[in-house]
Structure 1
Amino acid sequence: MHAMHHLDALSALCTQDLRMLLRATHAAAVASKHSRYSGIAQRIGMQLKGRGALQSADIRDGARIAMISRDGSALTSGSMWSSAFNGARPPTLPKATADVDYWTPDPDGAGYGKATAEIASLDILVIAHPTCGFTRAAADAAQTDPELRSMLSGRRALWLSPQDGTLDPRVFIDWRERHPDLPIHIVGRQSGFPELGYWGTPTFYILRDGKVVARVVGWPSGGNKAALQKAFADAGIAPRVDPAGR
């Protein structure tokens, strides 16, 4: 990020340049997922706050950077970014690791539980997000097609949201209520899943013995069931007859 040389002289920057630097920091965090950008955002935010120039858009950007960076210390009720949660207490983040961890929002949205993905036991790993229209289309198709649902659900399937800046855990809670067979969890760190080179939504990774053997991307207007069936067959994964995916 070429603008980082300004960090040693933030006080000399005008407010407009500080705000541009905060936007650039957000873009860099989205692209790299690196944890250092949360600290950079806080330093910029402190400069803006000290001038009485910290705006709601700045606070939302700062909170999203902290979430992308998995920096729970920057997302507390007393933090500079806390008003991004519209009066609610910021949810407590688990400690992020580089392992294959994922999070599940608590029912009340106050925090997240953490679990470790059993990659070797999975047939399919779905990259998805509740606000993605194509993800919703895939889930809706699965609800009305028992064969498709059996491929995408059950103990041998895991749906994960990318490492992004989604602040409101209720989008995942609401999704789980609408699609109890297809819950979307939240990846701790994408770097913990190095075989997943693409995190666009939805993406369907077919696994065998813990290794990716095929990838199906997207959900076009006609669906992608045939591509998934072929990928399962090529991987030697027998069709499941139980709609619950057991």
Structure 2
Amino acid sequence: MLRIAVAATLMLLVSGAHAADTSPITTPEALASYLRGTPIERSPLGALSPGARKRFLAILEFGDRGVRGIDVGDLDQELTHDQAVAVLALFGAQAYGDGLGLSPASYARRQAERRADAKRRGCVVTRCPESVVERRYDALVLADRPAPDAARHAAIAADYARLFDSELKPVALKGASAPDLRLLARAARVALEADPDGRAADDLTRVLDVMQSRGMVGDAEFRPLYRARVTTRQFDAARALAQTHPGMKMPALPKLEGETSTTGQPTVLRVSKDGRRMHREAIALDVPLRIVVVAACHFSEDAARAIAADPRLDALFHQHAVWLAAEGTPPADAAAWNRAFPTQPIDVAWRDREWSMLDSWAMPTYYVFRHGREVARWRGWLGLDALRAELTKAGVPY
């Protein structure tokens, strides 16, 4: 079903899972106590490189019920599946480890790369200081950017260009170590998520070409480039990339049919249930009632399922609502949603910037418009009673 990464760091919500054999770490104070009392070589965290461990701990988010946000990017890039699960278990979040981690062969290669880099730099592999590239990567991913999505994405793109311009020149790439090349690729993916129209796609292409020449990557690592071409609606370029790198194993893109006059209205990519066809369609907001639900996560699926099962709400949302996924949502995921919820189909924003009236793409967020003017909004899925209460406050009959 539909799943979207909140950012290039793959943020996951944690909802109070518990470790089987020990109490999970649920507060910053408990984490500080654990770190003081546990030698790093005896902790699952010790499997991470010093820089990765610093980033992982820095981005942890604690809430009233324990850890509520975990960045799994470094776990996925440095650890085996079992090692990643062991780290998550410290916080009662081992259930979120499905699919994480490197294969044994990939893990062995990454370890060999780290040892070779440490030997070249003359340091002990477990205590090597961060390279210039890693410090720049830290600055990119650890910066605090509290702003509406559009402003935050612009800031990420600007920071990326400022931090990595010199590191991405051909001479620098040729001499870069394997660990630095992997960090440069990750930095480009972060920027690509924030600004798919910017320079990051070309940068990532160059980095991956160097890595491929060293036997460091296969076709699968080109998937972010494919997704960027789809996101920017360069469908022919995406198909060509899939042919050049068949190991990506991407599903065939639907055929784009027809032409649409947007008439100044925001538009969507509407995908058929069978995933074979898609077309661009304008959405009118200057109507007596329009509900826009920013959706695609599993909470959104829960909402759609509950709404579809309630005849009155199903009729209301079918007539007046647009379930809207962000531009980066794969057409195949939209088709899967539409098969699952035929009375509550989802559309994909043709481009997010056309929907500038939505200042947050957090999921699910509900916007209520009357004659083009926003009159209400709320966020989250707390069940049908809470939804009915919000609709009543917004003056929406059902």
Query: TM tier, shorter chain?
Result: 0.7 to 0.9
Taking the aligned partners of 1:69 and 1:186, their CA distance within structure 2 comes to: 12
Determine the structure 1 residue equivalent to 2:299.
134
Q: 1:29 to 1:70 in 2, by over 3 A?
A: farther
Determine the structure 1 residue equivalent to 2:266.
100
Taking the aligned partners of 1:110 and 1:77, their CA distance within structure 2 comes to: 18
SS in 2 for 1:170: helix
Equivalent pair of 2:227/2:238 in contact (CA under 8 Å): no
Determine the structure 2 residue equivalent to 1:6.
167
Of 153, 159, 171, the residue aligned with 2:323 is: 159
Kindly report structure 1 stretches of 4+ aligned residues shifted beyond 6 Å: none
Equivalent pair of 1:74/1:81 in contact (CA under 8 Å): no
Which of structures 1 and 2 has the bigger CA Rg?
Answer: 2
Equivalent pair of 1:63/1:81 in contact (CA under 8 Å): no
Equivalent pair of 2:300/2:363 in contact (CA under 8 Å): yes
Q: Which amino acid aligns with 2:223?
A: R
Q: 1:221 to 1:116 in 2, by over 3 A?
A: closer
Taking the aligned partners of 1:99 and 1:36, their CA distance within structure 2 comes to: 28
Q: Deviations over 1:77-117 (max 9, x none)?
A: 4455553234x43456799x996121022454345311111
Please report how far the alpha carbon of residue 3 of structure 1 lies from its aligned counterpart in structure 2 after TM superposition: 1.9
Equivalent pair of 2:378/2:390 in contact (CA under 8 Å): yes
Q: 1:90 to 1:6 in 2, by over 3 A?
A: farther
Equivalent pair of 1:60/1:81 in contact (CA under 8 Å): no
Please report how far the alpha carbon of residue 190 of structure 1 lies from its aligned counterpart in structure 2 after TM superposition: 1.0
Q: 1:107 to 1:27 in 2, by over 3 A?
A: same
Taking the aligned partners of 1:210 and 1:82, their CA distance within structure 2 comes to: 45
TM, length-normalised to structure 1? 0.78
Determine the structure 1 residue equivalent to 2:29.
none
Determine the structure 1 residue equivalent to 2:216.
53
Q: Which amino acid aligns with 1:24?
A: A
Q: Does 1:23 align with 2:172?
A: no
Structure 1 gaps of 5+ residues are 241-246
Taking the aligned partners of 1:184 and 1:103, their CA distance within structure 2 comes to: 9
Taking the aligned partners of 1:223 and 1:41, their CA distance within structure 2 comes to: 47
Taking the aligned partners of 1:75 and 1:104, their CA distance within structure 2 comes to: 18
Taking the aligned partners of 1:82 and 1:232, their CA distance within structure 2 comes to: 50
The two structures, once aligned, show a CA RMSD in angstroms of: 2.9
Bigger RCO (CA 8 Å, 6+ sep)? 1
Q: Does 1:213 align with 2:375?
A: yes
Q: 1:6 to 1:81 in 2, by over 3 A?
A: farther
SS in 1 for 2:293: strand
SS in 1 for 2:394: helix
Structure 2 gaps of 5+ residues are 1-159
Q: Deviations over 1:49-72 (max 9, x none)?
A: 333332355223333343444443
Q: Which amino acid aligns with 2:327?
A: Q
Of 83, 95, 119, the residue aligned with 2:285 is: 119
Equivalent pair of 1:77/1:89 in contact (CA under 8 Å): no
Q: Deviations over 1:189-222 (max 9, x none)?
A: 1111111001011111000111222111010256
Taking the aligned partners of 1:69 and 1:21, their CA distance within structure 2 comes to: 22
